[in-house]
Amino acid sequence: MTKHLVVVAGNIGVGKTSLTERIGARLGWWTGYESVVDNPYLADFYADMHAWAFHLQIFFLGHRADQYMEAARDPRSAILDRSIYEDFHIFARALHQMGDMAERDYLAYRRLFNLVVDSTPRPNLLIYLKAPVHILMDRIRRRARNMETGISPEYLALLDSFYDDWLSAFDLCPVLTIRTDDLDYVHQSNHLDTVIERIQEKLTGKEVMEF
């Protein structure tokens, strides 16, 4: 049986963890999750982005590299709820543009990022989840994480624009784009069936329409 590495990408609140959990459970895949509850920097970062941006990005880079290596060692196929590439192309870029990551920190981080990425396995598929900013804001409010209360629509819109830039040139593996505003794979099993069918088609090289 062919082993696959699938990574899920997308903006904050778009549904990455929910999809990862359900695909892992349905297909018996190894799952890796973004460090949120046990992250020693995240709350400080949201309270003062300028002071903690570099620390947070370094933590995430190491955390995700560990996940990629663990996924490579596990005999099962694996799905991760954020890609390592987003750390630099989306989040570090946004922090740099907003002035929350100094130029020297940004350049040092980019150099380390490139070294780490060169040593991690390439995914077989990137699933890009997408939803309008107002939907993301509503989901963030409903999950009510105290550390996320400072997230603004403007910040999410900036991240969204960077996703468009990044994916327009992304060529490491096939990309499956899924809009999650009208898709409920949490409560509707047939919606999850459809997503899994598209994933399996994409992994076997079939052309798949975005949905």
Pick the closest to residue 120 from 197, 57, 68, 67 (CA basis): 68
- Torsion sign, CA atoms 208, 18, 46, 57: negative
> How, if at all, do strands 125-130 and 175-179 pair?
parallel
Amino acid at 35: S
Catalytic: which of 44, 48, 74, 81? 81
Neighbouring C-beta atoms of residue 168, cutoff 10 Å: 7
Q: Is 81 assigned a catalytic role?
A: yes
The dihedral formed by the CA atoms of 171, 176, 181 and 184, expressed in degrees to the nearest 10: -150
Active site residues: 81
